[in-house]
Structure 1
Amino acid sequence: MHIIIVGGGQVGTELVHNLTGKGQSVIVIEKDPKQAAHLKEELDTIVINENAVSIEVLEKARVKSAQMLIAATETDEVNIIACMLAKKFEVPTTVARIRNTEYTADSSPTGLTNKQMGIDLIINPEKAAASEMLKLIHFPDATQVEYFAQGLVKLIATIVSENAEITNIPLEKLKLPAGCIIVGIRKNDGKFIIPNGKDIVEANDKVYLLGNAKVILKASGLLHRKETRIRKVLILGGGNIGFELAKLLEEDSEHSFMVKIIEKDPQQCEKLRRNLTKSFVIQGDNTNISYFLEEEIGETDALVAATGDDRTNIVAAMMGKKLGVKRIVSEIDIMDYHSVYSSLGIETIDPFLITASQILRYTRKEDVVSLSLLKDVGAEIIELILPEEAVVIGKKLMDCNFPKGMLIGTILRGQDVIIPSGQTVLKSNDRLIIFVLPSISKKLEKYFTRS
């Protein structure tokens, strides 16, 4: 597959690393000379240092033979025009990163539908980031939460506490509740493994637990001594992410969250008050530490730092830690700060990684329903539907000769969530949730595409 990526920022760079690693043909168009020069040094792909809003430039990028164009610049209008031009060349799939929600509304300022704008898929990074933050508020003991099979299957990643019930026991002897499985372990030294029955879990390991959504919560109790509950949520920063998160919290019918937002821009505060019905909006300088104290951060259950500035987010998160806040989540704006957040033990949401995950599912040949990139370890979780013509149909898992580095964690057959064994026979239309290392990911199409 030949793919054109417009915009060589953090999203574009993540996509190139992933796609070229799977043997895809990728050309990047980046307008900024300095960034283009950096990409040429860092990436093993062609980088065109020009403006993508040009038929001549798109032709240089071999648009006539492209199967996909991904427009991921910081400017919505550039992304829209690039997709429109790509459709003129009959590019089958176009993807646009769009931040302004007005462009995706019925009353779009362009007066055009997505189809008329030439866009097959719109990704909104802020909305996606807010959704991920909501998951971590729902499950405050987890570091990552993913849903599959329309919510019937769930994955949680969590750090194993000292003296947890599952520590130092071989997995083959571990009595997990029926309906779930440990699909990955990131050891305390940073090494990541897809475990077998002989492996053990130790305190401070990060464990990836996959299975029936109703069972997962019960199983996660084996990893912790006590359950954390969230009711009060304080959001620092009322920009796009903060606003989207507040809307989701207000719309949550299963919980009754008390939401407070601190935003320094008076006009943005007015917008928040007009569009939010239950949240308490305060105008204040969220970069002032004394103001944090005044607002009694220590009394909130969850602190979300979404100010748009990493240094401010880090200071706020550290203050929250000092005051004993149960759950702290921060937006990460510049990837160079990732190691800083990690060393300080601050849980982060990366809008760029989330955006890349949502786009990557459309670049695969398998019938992929969803794809998630796991933070810190580079592994992928792929949800796909098994077609009738796949070579593994009718075979037992033990006879499929799958490569080392992949694991079918669950199978959804109808409404039944199955934790497979070597004797499990694969059937057409099975929905598979597969845990796979990056080096193996490109081999999946051999087993799971139409033969």
Structure 2
Amino acid sequence: MRVIVVGAGRTGKRVAEHLSKNHDVVVVDQDEEAIAEVSHLDVLTVVGDATLPETLEEADVGKADYLIATTEDDTTNIVVCALGKTLGSPFTVARVRRLDYIRLWGRGREALGVNLMVSAVPLVAKSIANVIEFPQLRQLRNLYDGIYVGDAIEVPEGLWHTEVGGRKIIVATMEELKRAYRPRKPRNVLILGGSEVAVMLAEMLIRKGCDVKIVERNRERAEEVSSLLEDATVIVGNPFSRSLWRDEELDEAEVSVSAFDEDERTLMGAMVSREWGIERTFAVVHDGDLIAMFERAGIVAVSPEVATADRIVFATRGEKALGLVASIPGVRVLAVEVDEKLASRTPDELPGTLGPVLRDGEVILPTASFHLQKGDVITLIVEEEMAGELEL
């Protein structure tokens, strides 16, 4: 399979790194320094402006199976996809930041020459909203058809789990999770920063019945956020100010989410929250390489970069791959439909660890002698390094 990745930034680099293990990948960027950052990967590179026909032709777009546009500019990514459809017939993927484009694309799908449009905003907001009622979990993501994957701090007796890369990975239905953990909905949630992620997360939490306060330093942006969120309390002020925390009683929050555009401010916001006694603190971290640093400080980190890249990689997996949880550092969990090639195999004949199996609507916990059947949906837990080489 031939894949063209336009944009050699953090997201594009992550996508190229995963896909180059199994496929022919070409990375295009007009910045020579950015291209140099991917030179160690097993990829071809093209220096040039991908919104120009000659650049995509140099990348041999006519033979490409996928054209993935991951630059920092939404318009550029959409134009690249439209141009790719004119010059060839690749499956096109555009990374976008603005939700307006997602909404427009969603009206008719494949609009603007884009087969798949990916935005980190709903991915990140939903991942935090899912887990916010489960203090014993760092993350909780829907894998497939009511099957959830969690990164657990504690695992109650009787709940299926495995350890991969030092992480306790649970796979269960929501009913099982509720019985095991007895979720507690936080009454008060504090969000530092008025980003798009913050707004969407606030909407989700308000629907859950939470009282939400948002602190935004820029008055114009604060007013915009306030107009979007009638049921949230939006405070204009310095989120690092002791007097603001004291006067607005921000420390009454049970959960804090730090969601600035700069990771340095996000880290500071999370640390300030913990200093004021809010132990359950989330952070929206753009640079995925910083997640481990946040976690060492006791902060649950969620990365838009990682969420976007892994959603794009999942789109290239083919029809047998039905779901992916890739936000847990060092771990990948896939939902895979069993075909003739996998049928009759036992757990020790599969890569990684076989988790619960969905067969005819029933969840089965496989034993060592368990044999797969065609049509089963399996959960497969592998280390991140193996995921790029995994053949399905």
Query: TM-score by structure 2 length?
Result: 0.92
1:411 corresponds to:
357
CA contact (8 A) 1:99 1:126 kept: yes
The CA deviation at 1:317 is 1.4
2:66 corresponds to:
68
Matched, 1:383 2:335: yes
Q: Which among 164, 171, 177 is matched to residue 216 of structure 1?
A: 177
1:360 corresponds to:
313
Aligned with 1:117: secondary structure?
Answer: helix
**Structure 1 unmatched runs, 5+:** 167-175, 188-205, 222-226
The CA deviation at 1:122 is 0.8
Q: Which among 379, 382, 386 is matched to residue 436 of structure 1?
A: 382
1:182 corresponds to:
161
Tell me how far apart the structure 2 counterparts of residues 289 and 47 of structure 1 sit (CA, whole Å).
Answer: 50
**1:442 and 1:327, CA in 2 relative to 1: closer, same or farther beyond 3 A?**
closer
CA contact (8 A) 1:396 1:422 kept: no
Matches within 5 A, 1:234-383: 234-252=190-208, 256-335=209-288, 337-365=290-318, 367-377=320-330, 379-383=331-335
Aligned with 2:148: secondary structure?
Answer: strand
Q: What RMSD over aligned residues (CA atoms) do the two structures have, in Å? A: 2.4
**Letter in structure 2 aligned against 1:156:** G
Matched, 1:24 2:19: no
CA contact (8 A) 1:210 1:216 kept: no
Tell me how far apart the structure 1 counterparts of residues 97 and 388 of structure 2 sit (CA, whole Å).
Answer: 31
CA contact (8 A) 1:367 1:385 kept: yes
Matched, 1:156 2:154: no
Most deviating of 436-445 and 352-361: 436-445
CA contact (8 A) 1:129 1:354 kept: yes
CA contact (8 A) 2:213 2:234 kept: yes
Structure 1, residues 282-314: CA drift from partner, whole Å, max 9, x if none?
Answer: 111224344234333321011000121222222
Tell me how far apart the structure 2 counterparts of residues 381 and 338 of structure 1 sit (CA, whole Å).
Answer: 19
CA contact (8 A) 1:369 1:384 kept: yes
1:201 corresponds to:
none
Give the aligned length.
Answer: 392
1:401 corresponds to:
349
- Counting aligned pairs with the same residue, the percent is 26
Tell me how far apart the structure 1 counterparts of residues 241 and 293 of structure 2 sit (CA, whole Å).
Answer: 21
Tell me how far apart the structure 2 counterparts of residues 356 and 285 of structure 1 sit (CA, whole Å).
Answer: 32
The CA deviation at 1:120 is 0.7
The CA deviation at 1:25 is 1.0
1:10 corresponds to:
10
The CA deviation at 1:442 is 5.4
2:123 corresponds to:
128
1:105 corresponds to:
103
CA contact (8 A) 1:234 1:304 kept: yes
The CA deviation at 1:366 is 5.2
The CA deviation at 1:444 is 4.6
The CA deviation at 1:336 is 5.5
**1:313 and 1:294, CA in 2 relative to 1: closer, same or farther beyond 3 A?**
farther
CA contact (8 A) 2:191 2:212 kept: yes
CA contact (8 A) 1:331 1:350 kept: yes
Most deviating of 112-121 and 2-11: 112-121
CA contact (8 A) 1:374 1:381 kept: no
Structure 1, residues 175-221: CA drift from partner, whole Å, max 9, x if none?
Answer: x42xx42122443xxxxxxxxxxxxxxxxxx4111123322344458
Which runs of 4 or more aligned residues in structure 1 lie more than 6 Å from their structure 2 counterparts after TM superposition?
none
Structure 1, residues 336-355: CA drift from partner, whole Å, max 9, x if none?
Answer: 64453233222111001011
Tell me how far apart the structure 2 counterparts of residues 55 and 15 of structure 1 sit (CA, whole Å).
Answer: 23
**Letter in structure 1 aligned against 2:350:** F
Tell me how far apart the structure 2 counterparts of residues 392 and 307 of structure 1 sit (CA, whole Å).
Answer: 45
Q: Which among 86, 90, 93 is matched to residue 92 of structure 1?
A: 90
Tell me how far apart the structure 2 counterparts of residues 69 and 30 of structure 1 sit (CA, whole Å).
Answer: 13
**1:286 and 1:267, CA in 2 relative to 1: closer, same or farther beyond 3 A?**
same
1:38 corresponds to:
37
Structure 1, residues 235-272: CA drift from partner, whole Å, max 9, x if none?
Answer: 111121111111111233xxx20011111222222222
2:186 corresponds to:
230
Tell me how far apart the structure 2 counterparts of residues 431 and 322 of structure 1 sit (CA, whole Å).
Answer: 45
1:142 corresponds to:
137
Tell me how far apart the structure 1 counterparts of residues 44 and 281 of structure 2 sit (CA, whole Å).
Answer: 40
Query: TM-score by structure 1 length?
Result: 0.80
**Structure 2 unmatched runs, 5+:** none
Tell me how far apart the structure 1 counterparts of residues 386 and 290 of structure 2 sit (CA, whole Å).
Answer: 29
